[in-house]
Amino acid sequence: MQQINKYCVWLTYESDLLNSIIFDLSNNYNGPVFQAHSTLLGKSDIPLINLKSAIIGISAELTIKEVTVENIEYRDDYWMAYFITIHEKQILLEIHQKLLKELNINNNEIYYPHISLLYGSLSTEEKNKIETPIQKGDIIKIRSIQITECGDEVEKWKPVFELKI
């Protein structure tokens, strides 16, 4: 039986600081290292060619070039253990919805735009002790829309297509 690749669609950021924070937090709290991003479409088995076509289709409408840090939060969720909320949530929600429409996906899942800084299972006490140099009001430049092959092992995630913004 042939394995079907899973892909995610991300907004990626030009920020050595974000990637450095992710690296440090992952090492300090035994989490996986990953590229700084906001997920626009989670794991999907939609063919790569269709995903490429969809992001090219919506790219002309993208005017957003940066996001603003709104807050740093955490949840009791492996994928949102420690993350940045962004001021431009509504804009990312609209991009997400355009992508779903372009791919003919009817999806009622709740979409919450953010930038994860740490994946893992930590106690509230541990999360409260985390300090990062990112602060409310900081501006983060968007680099691209990227399709990433995203299997079950975060360490094996790899970009397969990127469209600079």
pLDDT of residue 151: 87
The CATH code of the domain that includes 105 is 3.90.1140.10
pLDDT of residue 5: 85
Blockwise average pLDDT, block size 10, the chain, 165 residues = 80 95 96 96 95 94 94 95 96 95 89 96 93 95 96 93 95
Alpha-helix runs per DSSP H in 8-88: 16-28, 48-59
pLDDT of residue 114: 97
Q: Which amino acid is at 49?
A: I
pLDDT of residue 4: 67
Q: Is the residue at 31 inside a domain?
A: yes
Q: Is the residue at 142 inside a domain?
A: yes
DSSP code for 76: S
Q: State both tokens at 38.
A: 């906001």
Q: State both tokens at 94.
A: 């609209």
Q: Is the residue at 124 inside a domain?
A: yes
Q: Is the residue at 1 inside a domain?
A: no
- According to DSSP, the residues that pair with 116 across neighbouring strands are 83
- Measured over the CA atoms of residue 15, residue 63, residue 139 and residue 74, the dihedral's sign is negative
How is 124-163 classified by DSSP, letter by letter?
HHHHHH---S--TT-EEEEEEEEEEE--S-GGG-EEEEEE
Q: Is the residue at 85 inside a domain?
A: yes
Question: Structural domain of residue 131, as residue ranges?
Answer: 7-164
Q: Is the residue at 24 inside a domain?
A: yes
pLDDT of residue 109: 84
Domain count, the chain: 1
Question: Nearest Cα to 82, choosing from 111, 114, 112?
Answer: 114
Angle, helix 48-59 to helix 89-102, in steps of 10 degrees:
130
H/E element holding 96?
helix 89-102
Question: Nearest Cα to 77, choosing from 44, 108, 31, 40?
Answer: 31
Q: Is the residue at 126 inside a domain?
A: yes
Q: Is the residue at 77 inside a domain?
A: yes
